[in-house]
Structure 1
Amino acid sequence: MYAYLWRALPGPRPVKILLAVALLAAVFLTLMEVVFPWVAEQLPHTDVTV
């Protein structure tokens, strides 16, 4: 999968590295801003047992 992604990115190696970092940052920010808050709302926080 990573080899396919690396081959699919355009440009020479430095451009590919910058694009890969930008893609990783976009995935990370999407998870932190959209996905994880939605999942946190779905979890039952009132059912805490100690």
Structure 2
Amino acid sequence: MYAWLWRHLPGRWQARTALAVGLALAFAAVLWYLVFPWVEPKVQFDHGVVDGTPASSTAPTAPATPG
């Protein structure tokens, strides 16, 4: 795939390198600003589930007993 892309970019190697870097940055920007924000609410990596109940940071904890 990289060879195909390199062959189809116009110009000498300096221009091809600049275009390839620009295309990679544009692709990364589309992922960062459009795709990832759209996917994030659907995936929810930061929600841990144990035994079918979602974890809560406000759940009461048992007091520490002196030992």
Task: Please report how far the alpha carbon of residue 49 of structure 1 lies from its aligned counterpart in structure 2 after TM superposition.
Answer: 1.4
Aligned residues: 49
The structure carrying a bigger strand percent of its residues is: 2
- Structure 2: gaps spanning 5 or more residues: 51-67
What CA RMSD, in Å, does the superposition of the two structures yield over aligned residues?
Answer: 1.6
- Structure 1: gaps spanning 5 or more residues: none
Q: Which residue of 1 aligns with 2:25?
A: 25
Aligned residues: percent identity?
Answer: 43
C-alpha separation in 2, matches of 1:10 and 1:44: 42
What is the TM-score with the length of structure 2 in the denominator? Answer: 0.66
**CA deviation vs aligned residue, 1:3-41 (integer Å, no higher than 9, x gap):** 000000000000000000000000000000000000002
Task: Please report how far the alpha carbon of residue 43 of structure 1 lies from its aligned counterpart in structure 2 after TM superposition.
Answer: 2.2
C-alpha separation in 2, matches of 1:37 and 1:12: 37
What is the TM-score with the length of structure 1 in the denominator? Answer: 0.86
Q: 1:44 to 1:16 in 2, by over 3 A?
A: closer
